[in-house]
Structure 1
Amino acid sequence: METNSNSASSKPSASSLRWRILSRAVLHRAKNPEDESQLGMKLISRKAAKGFNLIPCQLLNHDHESRDAQFCYTLPTQGCPKLVLTQRLNNNADLTDFEICNRHNIDNTGTVCQWPSEDVLAYYCLSHADMFRSKRVIELGSGYGLAGLTIAATTEALEVVISDGNPQVVDYILHNINTNSGAFGETRVKPMKLHWNEKEVSNLSHTFDVIVASDCTFFKEFHKDLAQVTELLLKKPGPSEAIFFSPKRGNSLDKFLEEIKDNGLLFSITEIYDPEIWNRHQQFMNGDESWPGYEKDHCYPLLIRITR
């Protein structure tokens, strides 16, 4: 039986490409952008450089002695302030990041990039500002805090807590809150280190009117803790709800929603919740090359509303 060795060598497996992504991030090796392997990694990776690009982002400055850079987010509503966030440059990690993740039993996704579902969450909150007015709000697994900062700057919320379980990420959140403090008006804004397996949260149990989160259901090992902390934080008595944006990713979202039911909570799923977001999704499905590797199951966030 004759085999084509040239063909086999020119198409590395998906697993080998993913290992190259990890290797490049850890070793900080930037390959020639014209290299075919670089193109292959772009195609196999689900991460997008700009995602849905609902909130335009511009690099302000980058200290080349640092892993960090400042980005300016222009909120697409007249009269809204611009937000300046300090965050890591894409593909920039080192071994200390993984050591911290192992020590705190967390993942490292919060420092990797601004994930596309966070952009969708921030845009949705901006478009539904009335639901946050005079409410206590907490963002879970916030990463650099774009959605929480957007709520704080545009909705007249009473309080916004921006939380993450990674202490490195919480440092970024604190820095970004201080940088944008002039945009919050009377809204109280604070960072919080919150691990989802905490059974008691001092003075916060059952006190939040609204919980928001994006792309937090990927890892099945965290589903039970995430569902439990959602129940723990939702206000009672009185109306309260959690707004999650998450792609299906096989059966991952379904498994999380089983945990939600097991905690006595109700949920609804909406696929088409905003015409602009749906339009951009359709463009990606029809071959828009600005997001290589786009697939609905892995990339398009569904709107999950969770209530008591």
Structure 2
Amino acid sequence: MKRSKRVLELGSGYGLAGLAIAASTDAFEVVISDGNPQVIDYVQRNININASTFGDTKVKSMILHWIEELDSEMLYNFDIIIASDCTFFKEFHECLAKTVKSLLKNSEKSEAIFLSPKRGDSLDKFLVKIKDMGLDYDLIEDYDSKVWNLHQKFRNENDTSWPNYDEDHCYPFLLRITLKKPKTTSTTMP
């Protein structure tokens, strides 16, 4: 099987998701990014420590600021972009949406996969920016039965296993972002 998928993790923190993808998939390359240089130092250490688990997958870290001009060699280059809990800073919504659009490969199979809680109106405002940027999305609340069942359990006021559970800040929705599909026109013959 040919390794061909290029995966980018945005706002990675210490890079757990990117590292897991690199270790458990046949991706060609996984790039783990964050805007904080100190965090990227930790990510690179984690890459070095776990290098033996990546097989033939190329794994690298990089500093990536959503508000800065992107390097031209990165544009339209990723099959999959992942991010978790990156939509809470409303002032970066437009930059984040633009970054996703600029980095996704121009392919029907390319997509960005975000996990994000609502955090008041923050997620809704980000979805508006996604639409404004000419992207499509699906927002999925019940995407995994185990996660959903735990969410339902924690919402129950009688459950004390997670005191102060606030679904607005804790429950991650699955957001799938894709390039807008071209409209097809049907023609009928007279």
Please say whether Structure 1 and Structure 2 have the same fold, judged by a TM-score greater than 0.5.
yes
Unaligned runs of 5+ in 1: 1-132
Q: Which runs of structure 2 are paired with 1:1-308 in the superposition (5 Å)?
A: 134-286=4-156, 287-308=158-179
Unaligned runs of 5+ in 2: 180-190
Does structure 2 retain, via aligned residues, the 8 Å contact 1:272–1:278?
Answer: yes
Q: Cα deviations across residues 106-134 of structure 1 (Å, max 9, x unaligned)?
A: xxxxxxxxxxxxxxxxxxxxxxxxxxx63
Q: Which protein shows a greater Rg?
A: 1
Distance 1:219 1:257 in 2: 13
Distance 1:138 1:291 in 2: 32
* CA apart distance, 1:237: 4.5
Distance 2:70 2:60 in 1: 19
Please give the TM-score of this superposition, normalised by the length of structure 2.
0.89
* CA apart distance, 1:298: 1.5
3-state SS, counterpart of residue 174 of structure 2? strand
Give the aligned residue type for 2:10. L
* CA apart distance, 1:307: 0.3
3-state SS, counterpart of residue 239 of structure 1? coil
Partner of 1:11: none
* CA apart distance, 1:184: 0.3
Give the aligned residue type for 2:101. E
Q: Cα deviations across residues 239-264 of structure 1 (Å, max 9, x unaligned)?
A: 31000010111110010111111111
Partner of 2:185: none
Write 1 or 2 for the structure with the bigger share of helix: 1
Distance 2:38 2:140 in 1: 33
Identity value in percent: 64
Distance 1:173 1:288 in 2: 36
Alpha-carbon RMSD: 1.3
Greater than 6 Å deviation, 4+ residue runs: none
